[in-house]
Amino acid sequence: MFRLDNRRALVTGAGSGIGEATAFALASRGAMVYVADRDEPNGRRVADAIRATGAQASFVALDVTDAAACAAVAARVEGEGPLDVLVNNAGIGHVGTITTTNGEDLDRLYAVNVRGVFNVTKAFIGPMLDRRRGSIVNIASIGGIVGIRDRLAYCTTKFAVVGLTKSMALDHAQQGVRVNCVCPGRVETPFVSARLREYPDPEAAYREMASTQAIGRMGRPDEIAAAVVYLASDEAAMITGSALIIDGGWSAGK
């Protein structure tokens, strides 16, 4: 089950964290994986590490905020073979309320978290629709399902990712392309570590973040990656337009 042999996948933001774990998980199930990231050293490191396991991977430099660059990468990838799985993982965060967030902060997050998903999907979805086959998985957040204190810009963009997912799923449900998203809670990644450093007391912030999840701990990147593999696989053929919550019970009582 959950095999991806002879499939080709691309993961954005695959140079670390959830993206790295997802690239490894897809490759371990038989997929050839394009490791896409604007951080070339880490992207190449991940691609090299995947190949060292005997799986298939290739690094592609990509800034998801650049629509022309996304189109160029799509042309290159499609020139090498059809893309079956697209994982829009690249994202950034911000700590702040409406009083401490400025317009530039919101624009910066929107450019990556929302427009980035739009740019990459727009570049790749045409050939998928022509072939009437494809699975797109967007990495949203529990912050796209419920509000989170001090995360105004982040939640705004992640709610938008959930909306993009549902809209695209409805638009293309009868054309063979499935679109879903995963909504993680707190996950121990370099992304979260960077957010913790923005607090006056990072250790207290870590304890608070872990305690918001009913099971009493943060998630692991591989736990999120496993859900992406499922949604990408044929076993999830009946699933489209879903927002899969993986939050350790955080939102269960909301």
Residue boundaries of the structural domains of the chain: 8-185+225-245
**Mean pLDDT, the chain cut into blocks of 10 residues (254 residues total):** 96 98 98 98 98 98 98 98 98 95 98 98 98 98 96 98 98 98 93 82 89 92 98 98 96 86
Q: What's the pLDDT at 246?
A: 97
In the set 154, 199, 206, 230, the catalytic residue is 154
Q: Pairing mode, if any, of strands 85-88 and 134-139?
A: parallel
Distance between CA 87 and CA 31 in Å, rounded? 13
**φ, ψ (nearest 5 deg) of residue 226:** -60, -40
Does the domain made of 8-185+225-245 have the CATH classification 3.40.50.720?
yes
Element (H, E) at 193: helix 190-196
Sheet containing 56-61: order of strands: 56-61, 32-37, 8-12, 85-88, 134-139, 177-184, 243-246
The answer to whether 109 and 157 have CB atoms below 8 angstroms apart is yes
**Residue type at 34 in one-letter notation:** Y
- Does residue 206 have an active-site annotation? no
